[in-house]
Every structure is written in C-alpha cells, then in structure tokens.
Amino acid sequence: MSDGSARDQTRRPSPIEVRGLVNSFGERTIHDDLDLTVRAGEVLGIVGGSGTGKTVLLNSILGLREPTEGTVKLFGEDAASMTREQRDDIEKRWGVLFQNGALFSSLTVLENVASPLVEHSGLSATTIRELAEIKIAMVGLGPESHYLKPAELSGGMRKRVGLARALALDPELLFLDEPTAGLDPIGAAAFDDLILQLQRDLDLTVFMITHDLDSLYAICDRIAVLADKKVVTVAPPEELERSEHPWIREYFLGPRGRAAQAAEGNG
C-alpha cells in the first residue's frame, strides 16, 4: 500500500460500516450479528464458502435487500434513515460490477457505458460519448467493440464492459461480485492487474467478492472471511495463513491455496 493511501485512511471516513447485521430468510439465518468496516482506499476481498451469504451481504450494503436487523452506514450516514436525496447522491458515488455484467441488452456497449453519464452528469452528448470511449479504452477494449450488443460479447468482454460502466461516474467506491469467475487464468490475471491499476490511478476503494485465490493474493489489502454467519476475521492474506480457524486453514493451506502463495512468492 502506498503512503498516499495510508494517509488517506486517517483523513477520510470509512465508506462502509456494517454493525450487528442480521439477515434471515424465514427460518434460515444467513448472517447473525455481522460486523464489517471497509477502510477508505483499500481493496477488501470477501471470501466464504458457497451459501455463506456473500451476495446477500453485498445486496444489504447496496440497499437491494432490507436487512432483518442491524445498521449499514455508507460514507458515515445510516442507510436506513437516509432521505431520498442523500440516497441518490450516494448511488452516484459507487459503481457496481454484477456477476454476469448485468449489461442492458438492448443498448450497445458504448450506450451501456454512457448510460450513467446520460442519467446523472449533465455533460454534452459529445463529451459523454468521448468519456464513455475513454472508459472503454481504460478497461482494455478497442474501438471495434463500441457498437456491439451485449449478446455478441464473450464472457470476459462482458465483465470488462460492466467494469467500464461501473466506472463511468468515477465512483469512490467500487463493488465487484466475482469479477474473475468464468475467465481463463490469463484473462483473470489481466483483469486483476486492471483492477489494481485503476484502483491506484483513480484512488478507489474496492469491495470485492471472489473465490479466486490468485486474485486475493494479487490485489487484496485485506480479506474478510465469512463463516459461522459472521465475519470471523479481517486481515491481510499473509496473516490469514497463520489463522487457527479450520475453514480458513483449509482454504489457504489446501493445495490451491499453496499454489497461489507460491505464485505470489515468485511474482
């Protein structure tokens, strides 16, 4: 982590603070008294087995799901007691990359990326188009992709376009839901580099759900582990390797975990 972002952390309030979160579906409790704080300027990875409620946590933070109990604070404001205007303002300060891109299928790539700008910026049409083109170039796609429809894109391209759309309004906070799932290893590594580079250049705070151990080692400053209906620990990957928690041990010290560590050590 650079000195700049370390200094920022003390200056800026934490963008996400979750306290005592409870989420239940009928009888089934997914989260029980879950606490999580995301620091400004960091890349936070969220890991956990299937069904531990990673996406439910994301949806609770984004306001797509009303938590059963507990508070979610966004940029220091309680999400539950926000006025409509505050909410609108916060929604412009974050960008979300959904698991399958969630691109608007009736719009071209360029229109998809331009859509948040058209809705919220008030810039001229030419400026919006140029800005969208820059965002598309930023995620590594060429001009030949501008007029394609989402149905014509490969999975990796769709994720890149989704990322470009999430970055359209230059958010401070970026949510990524399994950004490298379904990409080939080379594509996944390139996507990791891209996220890290953009995070540094644009000074983003990144909240990333992932299963990809390579991604965790490559780009995360800290990793939050979801298990036993809570965040059991939040720590840098090197520290998690020394954890005593059985699930964490298995996750990081299993064959795949060791391979990822070795790759990180060599690189």
Partner 1 sequence: MTPATFRIEARPEGRTSLALIGDWTSRSLGKVPLNLAAGLRGRSIDELDITDLGRFDTAGALAMVQAQDHALPLAGLAGRPEVERIVRLVQDLEREVGEPPRKADFITRFFARVGRGVYDFAAEGWAAFAFLGELLVAVVRSLASPGRIRWPAWVSQADHAGLDAIPIVVITTFFIGAVVAFIGVDLLTDFGAGIFAVQLIGVAVFREFAVVITAVLLAGRSASSFAAEIGSMKMNQEVDAMRVMGVDPFQALVIPRLAALVVMMPLLTFMAMLAGLLGGIVVTWTQMGLGPAFFLQRLVLDGTMPQHMLAGMVKAPVFALVIAAIGCRQGMAVGGDVESLGKRVTAAVVQAIFAIIALDAVFALLFMRIGL
The residue length of the chain stands at 267
Tokens of 38: 């995301």
- CB crowding 82-108: b at 16 or more within 10 Å, else e: eeeeeeeebbeebbbbbbebbbeeeeb
Q: Whose Cβ is closer to partner 1: residue 163's or residue 213's?
A: 163
CA distance 262 to 267: 9
Q: Whose Cβ is closer to partner 1: residue 72's or residue 131's?
A: 131
Number of residues that bind partner 1 (CB under 8 A): 33
Q: Whose Cβ is closer to partner 1: residue 33's or residue 127's?
A: 127
CB of 265 to partner 1, least distance (A): 29
CB of 121 to partner 1, least distance (A): 4
For residue 66, count CB atoms less than 10 angstroms from its CB and return exposed for 0-12, middle for 13-18, buried for 19 or more: exposed
- Alpha-carbon torsion, ordered 240, 8, 205, 137, to 10 deg: -120
CB of 84 to partner 1, least distance (A): 17
Q: Whose Cβ is closer to partner 1: residue 93's or residue 256's?
A: 93
CB of 214 to partner 1, least distance (A): 25
| Residue choice 201, 244, 246, 255 for contact with partner 1 (CB under 8 A) | 201
What is the full DSSP assignment across 122-138? Answer: ---HHHHHHHHHHHHHH
> Applying CB under 8 A, does 83 fall inside the site for partner 1?
no
Site string for partner 1, 112-151 (x = CB under 8 A): -----x--xxxxx--x-xxx-xxxxxx---xx---x-xxx
Residue with tokens 């010290």: 253
CB of 21 to partner 1, least distance (A): 30
Q: How many helices (H) and strands (E) does the chain have?
A: 11, 10
| Residue choice 12, 19, 65, 200 for contact with partner 1 (CB under 8 A) | 200
CB of 130 to partner 1, least distance (A): 5
Contact 32/230 with Cβ under 8 angstroms? yes
CB of 150 to partner 1, least distance (A): 7
| Residue choice 169, 188, 231, 260 for contact with partner 1 (CB under 8 A) | 169
206 DSSP β-pair partners: 43, 174
Q: Whose Cβ is closer to partner 1: residue 70's or residue 150's?
A: 150
Q: Whose Cβ is closer to partner 1: residue 119's or residue 239's?
A: 119
Distance set, CA 237 to CA 116, 208, 216, 218, 234 (Å):
35, 14, 7, 10, 9
Q: Kindly list the residues in this chain that would bind partner 1 in the complex (CB under 8 A).
A: 4, 92, 105-106, 117, 120-124, 127, 129-131, 133-138, 142-143, 147, 149-151, 168-170, 200-203
